[in-house]
Amino acid sequence: MRVLICKDEASAIARAADHIAEHMAQRSDCVLGLATGGTMLPLYRRLIRLHADGLSFASVTTFNLDEYIGLAPDHPASYHSYMRKALFDHVDVDPSRTHLPRGDAADPVAEAADYEARIARSGGISLQLLGVGRNGHIGFNEPTSSLASPTRIKTLTESTRRANQPYFGSDETPPGYAITMGVGTILSARECLLLATGSAKANAVAAMVEGPVAAVCPASALQMHARTTVVLDRDAATEMKLTDYYHHVHPDGEATRFD
């Protein structure tokens, strides 16, 4: 794993956005795996600024990690809505090339299998963007998810539902189930980029980077991925043991030639 520790949140966001922009510049036909959540909002704002400066999404295909079961695309708390508001409505992406699982599919099991097949038909994800949950989830792969799992339905933990309550109205609670890319789906991406900021993520980051590879921390499966970059701010990096080493290899979070 390449562990880049940036001096603050703004530098971590800039580093992650530059990484995505460089990837897009290198591959005209790139397939981006996209994530949602609070961490990604400033990253998408930064990408929108880069778009204003000339970064084009016109030939990019996107696949989001997950969607709540039971929410139609126009539900304000759906990830379809999140992506439109946070990114898609502000850049030149072709809407027909953006993909999220349909939370309102009549047959969510079939929808999950079809989503996995659509990713494969696209040629596979070239860069998968990821956040990490406080419980170590990636996508909605909650602790004890199979590390070989495909896209499927997962039952959300109470802690995840509580963490996402602010996106819902006071009279509504987050759904109990989601369709999510599996850990195996994520590991099939040619490259992964995980962004985590803030002290609330420090324990999950330490378990992901330095803990054993274990289903109890699904993000730890990224240790088995040959091309994963983890971009952190200092607050998210406080619980790791080898922080001095990461600073030595990548001063100020610079992506140096050798890891």
Annotated catalytic residues are: 66, 135, 137, 142
Q: Name the minimum Å distance from CB 1 to ligand PGA.
A: 17
Q: Closer CB to ligand PGA, residue 26 or residue 199?
A: 199
Rounded distance between C-alpha atoms, residue 62 and residue 82, angstroms: 14
Rounded distance between C-alpha atoms, residue 227 and residue 192, angstroms: 6
Question: C-alpha distances in angstroms, 218 versus 3, 41, 227, 248?
Answer: 18, 23, 17, 27
Task: Give me the residues that bind ligand PGA (CB under 6 A), please.
Answer: 37-39, 131-133
Q: Closer CB to ligand PGA, residue 133 or residue 174?
A: 133
Q: Are 208 and 222 in contact (CB under 8 A)?
A: yes
DSSP state letter for 223: G
Nearest Cα to Cα of residue 12 among 233, 210, 249, 212: 233
Nearest Cα to Cα of residue 135 among 155, 153, 157: 157
Q: Closer CB to ligand PGA, residue 37 or residue 176?
A: 37
| Residue number of the CB atom closest to ligand PGA | 37
Q: Are 154 and 65 in contact (CB under 8 A)?
A: no
Rounded distance between C-alpha atoms, residue 201 and residue 207, angstroms: 10
Rounded distance between C-alpha atoms, residue 116 and residue 152, angstroms: 9
Structure-token pair, residue 155: 């039952």
